[in-house]
Chains A and B, each alone.
Chain A
């Protein structure tokens, strides 16, 4: 039975870029920055492609909200193998409610069986959209879908995947990361899943994939045509660099260390 999965592709600053706070202290310096698909979203695209392949076909629809620049990230997901893309054209600041609102409306239109989102975007690390979305849709949710080991060792690859769909596509079993270990949830479909870092290692966009992506359709919407109020409910008032770490010190012996931990750091 073919399944349909909606995934996301947020445009975020490349984690290798050097991020600087601007002179006004209310944002970052945009000049010279490089952009990538949010790595957690990329993991979501990969997992969706694997689920569809395993389940005998279907469709992976990728969505992103932003200016036309997000086409780059949508094309990346299409090059990885997503079927088609939806672009919500919006300039200006975005908050989690606007994004979740747009995704809710898209999901009501598209009616996918499942939505897979990154657990958070690496730009402002909010970790809220997936949860809002599930609540507003009234869907079940499983956040932080993960695996036991990183880097997909041979041992890990032979184990059961973290996301398993039942043959009738009615339930999804999800292994998720929790404090101090893993938890397995059984969700009734449709549901929202957010991905954690160790879920999988996304494939490369192959050259034939990139060439094919050029002819895959990107459908355009705006918050207004979707009926979403895009006025931000959150304003950034101040942004600052974390304080620089102080240099470490060397202690001559254990006794001094114990003394410093007790009396200076006051941690024991």
Chain B
């Protein structure tokens, strides 16, 4: 048992931390306010290798360990969780190919991302199918060497700017999760339209759109895995990405705590800094210990993946605990700032709005609880 980060992990953390501090954070408020897409910052992250971390070395990537990805994800989210969501969206969209693609598919759909700045989107959720993935209505009909795709995908990160889309659809919706299949859609084929950017409560720097497919032809060789295997592909992908989402919560909460500590030492009430009041101290102590707990839980879930173990249970612990923790920590940070915390002039209300999304995307806190309960109650 060893809890210390290795020198290699510390070096990766240093670069991510420096980038978050010098490049992301100074622009976080601007992109939150304007809801513009921070393309230049994301491109800079790509140049430094902070994106596409899962691409295997055999296909030109750096293939970082899950633990290394988790360490980096915390720093990026500390800088701005909206930007971090757009950066990690590539890995989420590429993971199904990494996990289930053939050698030829990896060469075709992954390698270009190592050579050029490209964006990818992961398309699972639909207007009528959120937590109930198997309820999806986006259909694919086989016609010779093509599938013909029809339906809608909602809340698609980077959708407006993506060069490649990993889309989950069904060949037979009556089969529920056994009918699901995964297809890679490149570029903007005929019949494929991108909706308008959704105005969100938080994480406003990340682009979120609806995708519509009307008789879109996708070559059969773009199918990842077999027909009917899509649900497994999606769940394996989420098992792999859940530690990163949990780490977003940790980075976001750590930012809130640091702001709260600084502010509580400066803000004077009743003739002394508010940091000297126990009510404030207890909130800070809770934040610190819960952030630490969430980080260790997430490290473990990443470490299990690196060890080749199934991590569904621990990664659900991590995502559930970390997301709920970040919501509480950021709410308390706003409380410590008082009226100033509620003002957009100060940084903590953004963190609170950003945290809310972490309880919702990539499996809500309730779905994580369901997963945990099912894992614990099943079989023997």
Q: Is B15 in contact with A205, judged by CB distance below 8 angstroms?
A: yes
Q: Is B7 in contact with A204, judged by CB distance below 8 angstroms?
A: no
B110-143 toward A: CB 8 Å interface, digit per residue (1/0)? 0000000000000000000000000000000000
Q: Is B19 in contact with A211, judged by CB distance below 8 angstroms?
A: no
Q: For B50, what are the chain A residues with a Cβ–Cβ distance below 8 Å?
A: 207
Q: Is B11 in contact with A204, judged by CB distance below 8 angstroms?
A: no
Q: Is B19 in contact with A210, judged by CB distance below 8 angstroms?
A: no
Q: For B62, what are the chain A residues with a Cβ–Cβ distance below 8 Å?
A: 207-208, 211
Q: Would you give the shortest CB distance from A59 to chain B, in whole angstroms? A: 22
Give the residue of B8, B47, B64 whose beta carbon is less than 8 angstroms from that of A214.
B8
Q: For A209, what are the chain B residues with a Cβ–Cβ distance below 8 Å?
A: 49
Q: Is B12 in contact with A204, judged by CB distance below 8 angstroms?
A: no
Q: Is A126 an interface residue (CB 8 A)?
A: no
Q: For A206, what are the chain B residues with a Cβ–Cβ distance below 8 Å?
A: 15, 47-49
Give the residue of B7, B10, B12, B18 whose beta carbon is less than 8 angstroms from that of A207.
B12
Q: Would you give the shortest CB distance from B295 to chain A, in whole angstroms? A: 18
Give the residue of A71, A72, A208, A213 whose beta carbon is less than 8 angstroms from that of B49.
A208
Q: Would you give the shortest CB distance from A138 to chain B, in whole angstroms? A: 38
Give the residue of B7, B11, B47, B53 whose beta carbon is less than 8 angstroms from that of A205.
B11
Q: Is B14 an interface residue (CB 8 A)?
A: yes
Could you tell me the distance between the alpha carbons of A208 and B48 in the complex, rounded to whole angstroms? 8
Q: Would you give the shortest CB distance from A31 to chain B, in whole angstroms? A: 16
Count of residues in A whose CB is under 8 Å from the partner chain: 15
Could you tell me the distance between the alpha carbons of A207 and B11 in the complex, rounded to whole angstroms? 9
Q: For B18, what are the chain A residues with a Cβ–Cβ distance below 8 Å?
A: 204
Q: For A208, what are the chain B residues with a Cβ–Cβ distance below 8 Å?
A: 49, 62
Total contacts A-B at CB 8 Å? 38
Q: Indicate whether A76 sits within 8 Å of B11 (C-beta atoms), given known contacts A207-B62, A207-B64, A208-B62.
A: yes
Q: For A72, what are the chain B residues with a Cβ–Cβ distance below 8 Å?
A: 7, 10-11
Q: For B49, what are the chain A residues with a Cβ–Cβ distance below 8 Å?
A: 206-209
Nearest residue in A to B22 (C-beta to C-beta)?
Answer: A204
Q: For B7, what are the chain A residues with a Cβ–Cβ distance below 8 Å?
A: 71-72, 75
Q: Is A79 an interface residue (CB 8 A)?
A: yes
From A72, A205, A210, name the one whose CB has the most chain B CB atoms within 10 angstroms: A210
The A203-223 residues at the B interface (CB cut-off 8 A) are: 204-211, 213-214
Helix, strand, loop or mixed for chain B's interface? Answer: helix
Q: For A75, what are the chain B residues with a Cβ–Cβ distance below 8 Å?
A: 7, 11
Helix, strand, loop or mixed for chain A's interface? Answer: helix
Q: Is B48 in contact with A79, judged by CB distance below 8 angstroms?
A: no
Could you tell me the distance between the alpha carbons of A75 and B11 in the complex, rounded to whole angstroms? 9
A-B contact pairs, 30 of them (CB 8 A): A71-B7, A72-B7, A72-B10, A72-B11, A76-B11, A79-B11, A204-B15, A204-B19, A204-B48, A205-B11, A205-B14, A205-B15, A206-B15, A206-B47, A206-B48, A206-B49, A207-B12, A207-B15, A207-B48, A207-B49, A207-B50, A207-B62, A208-B49, A208-B62, A209-B49, A210-B11, A210-B12, A210-B15, A213-B11, A214-B8
B42-58 toward A: CB 8 Å interface, digit per residue (1/0)? 00000111100100000
Could you tell me the distance between the alpha carbons of A210 and B11 in the complex, rounded to whole angstroms? 7
Nearest residue in B to A210 (C-beta to C-beta)?
Answer: B11
Q: For A205, what are the chain B residues with a Cβ–Cβ distance below 8 Å?
A: 11, 14-15
Could you tell me the distance between the alpha carbons of A115 and B145 in the complex, rounded to whole angstroms? 63
Could you tell me the distance between the alpha carbons of A71 and B10 in the complex, rounded to whole angstroms? 13
B1-26 toward A: CB 8 Å interface, digit per residue (1/0)? 00000011011101100110000000
Nearest residue in A to B52 (C-beta to C-beta)?
Answer: A207
The B47-78 residues at the A interface (CB cut-off 8 A) are: 47-50, 53, 62, 64
Q: Would you give the shortest CB distance from A139 to chain B, in whole angstroms? A: 33
Interchain residue pairs A-B with the least CB separation, the first 5 = A207-B49, A206-B48, A208-B49, A210-B11, A206-B49
Could you tell me the distance between the alpha carbons of A211 and B7 in the complex, rounded to whole angstroms? 12
Q: Is A210 in contact with B8, judged by CB distance below 8 angstroms?
A: yes
Nearest residue in A to B14 (C-beta to C-beta)?
Answer: A205
Q: Would you give the shortest CB distance from B17 to chain A, in whole angstroms? A: 11
Nearest residue in A to B9 (C-beta to C-beta)?
Answer: A210
Q: For B19, what are the chain A residues with a Cβ–Cβ distance below 8 Å?
A: 204
From A72, A75, A76, A205, name the one whose CB has the most chain B CB atoms within 10 angstroms: A205
Q: Would you give the shortest CB distance from A36 to chain B, in whole angstroms? A: 9
Q: For B10, what are the chain A residues with a Cβ–Cβ distance below 8 Å?
A: 72
Q: For A214, what are the chain B residues with a Cβ–Cβ distance below 8 Å?
A: 8
Q: For B64, what are the chain A residues with a Cβ–Cβ distance below 8 Å?
A: 207
Could you tell me the distance between the alpha carbons of A105 and B8 in the complex, rounded to whole angstroms? 31
Could you tell me the distance between the alpha carbons of A205 and B53 in the complex, rounded to whole angstroms? 15
A71-101 toward B: CB 8 Å interface, digit per residue (1/0)? 1100110010000000000000000000000
Nearest residue in B to A203 (C-beta to C-beta)?
Answer: B48
Q: For B47, what are the chain A residues with a Cβ–Cβ distance below 8 Å?
A: 206
Q: Would you give the shortest CB distance from A87 to chain B, in whole angstroms? A: 14
Could you tell me the distance between the alpha carbons of A210 and B48 in the complex, rounded to whole angstroms? 10
Q: Would you give the shortest CB distance from A72 to chain B, in whole angstroms? A: 6
